[in-house]
Amino acid sequence: MYRILYVDDEPGLLEIGKIFLEKDRIFAVDTLTSAAAALERLASAPYDAIVADYMMPGMDGISFLKQLRSCGNTTPLIIFTGRGREAVVVEALNSGADFYLQKGGEPTAQFAELAHKIRHAIERRRADLALLKSERDYRHLIETASEGIYVTQDRLVRMVNPMAVALSGYQEQELIGQPFVTFVHPDDRALLLERYEQRIAGGDIPSRYRFRVLRKDRAIRWVALNAVAIAWDGRPATLNFITDIHEHKLAEDALKKSEERYRQFFKTTRDAVFITTPDGHWIDFNDALVELFGYAGRDEVNAISVTSVYEHPGDRDTFLDHVKQHGYVKEYPVRLRRRDGTVFDGLITIVPQKNPDGSVKEFIGTLRDITEQKRIGDALRESEERYRSFFRTTLDGVFITDAQGWFIDFNDAVMANLHTTDREQVFDTNVLQIYADERERDAYLAILKREGSAREYPIRFRRFDGTVFDALATVIVQKNPDGSVRSYTGTVRDVSDRERTGNALKESEERYHLFFRTTLDSVFITAPDGRFIDFNDAMMQHMGAKSRDEVFAASAADLYADPDERALFLEKVRQAGFIREYPLRFRRLDGSVVNSLITIMIQKNPDGSVKSYIGSVRDLTDGPQEVPHR
Rounded distance between C-alpha atoms, residue 518 and residue 511, angstroms: 10
pLDDT beyond 70 at 501: no
pLDDT beyond 80 at 499: no
Please count the helices (runs of H) and the strands (runs of E) in the chain: 20, 25
The string of pLDDT tens digits covering residues 513-569 is 666 766 778 888 999 888 999 998 888 888 899 999 998 988 888 888 888 888 898
pLDDT beyond 70 at 461: yes
Q: For the ranges 12-16, 138-142, 275-279, 290-294, which has the lowest average pLDDT?
A: 138-142
Tell me what percent of the residues of the chain surpass a pLDDT of 90.
Answer: 33
pLDDT beyond 80 at 285: yes
3-state secondary structure of 299: helix
pLDDT beyond 60 at 500: no
Question: Could you give all domains of the chain from N- to C-terminal order, each with its CATH number?
Answer: 2-140 (3.40.50.2300), 146-249 (3.30.450.20), 269-369 (3.30.450.20), 376-509 (3.30.450.20), 519-619 (3.30.450.20)
Rounded to 5 degrees, φ, ψ at 422 are -105, 105
Q: For the ranges 98-102, 344-348, 623-627, which has the lowest average pLDDT?
A: 623-627
Q: For the ranges 32-41, 67-76, 234-243, 385-394, which has the lowest average pLDDT?
A: 385-394
pLDDT beyond 60 at 326: yes
pLDDT beyond 90 at 124: no
pLDDT beyond 50 at 629: no
Q: What is the pLDDT of residue 134?
A: 64
Tell me what percent of the residues of the chain surpass a pLDDT of 70.
Answer: 92
95, 23 Cβ separation under 8 angstroms: no
pLDDT beyond 60 at 570: yes
In this prediction, residues 94-105 reach a mean pLDDT of 84
CA end-to-end distance (rounded Å), the chain: 85
Rounded distance between C-alpha atoms, residue 112 and residue 24, angstroms: 11
pLDDT beyond 80 at 210: yes
Q: What is the pLDDT of residue 83?
A: 64
The string of pLDDT tens digits covering residues 340-352 is 999 999 888 888 8
Q: For the ranges 38-47, 49-58, 385-394, which has the lowest average pLDDT?
A: 385-394
In whole angstroms, how far apart are CA 121 and each of 78, 157, 622?
8, 39, 101
CB atoms within 10 A of CB 161: 21
CB atoms within 10 A of CB 100: 20
Cα 600-470-452 angle, rounded to 5 deg: 25
DSSP state of 4: E
pLDDT beyond 90 at 628: no
Cα 418-423-426 angle, rounded to 5 deg: 50
pLDDT beyond 70 at 2: yes
The more confidently predicted of residues 460 and 128 is 460
The string of pLDDT tens digits covering residues 167-197 is 899 998 999 999 999 999 999 999 999 999 9
Dihedral, 484, 486, 488, 489 alpha carbons, nearest 10: -130
Rounded distance between C-alpha atoms, residue 532 and residue 552, angstroms: 6
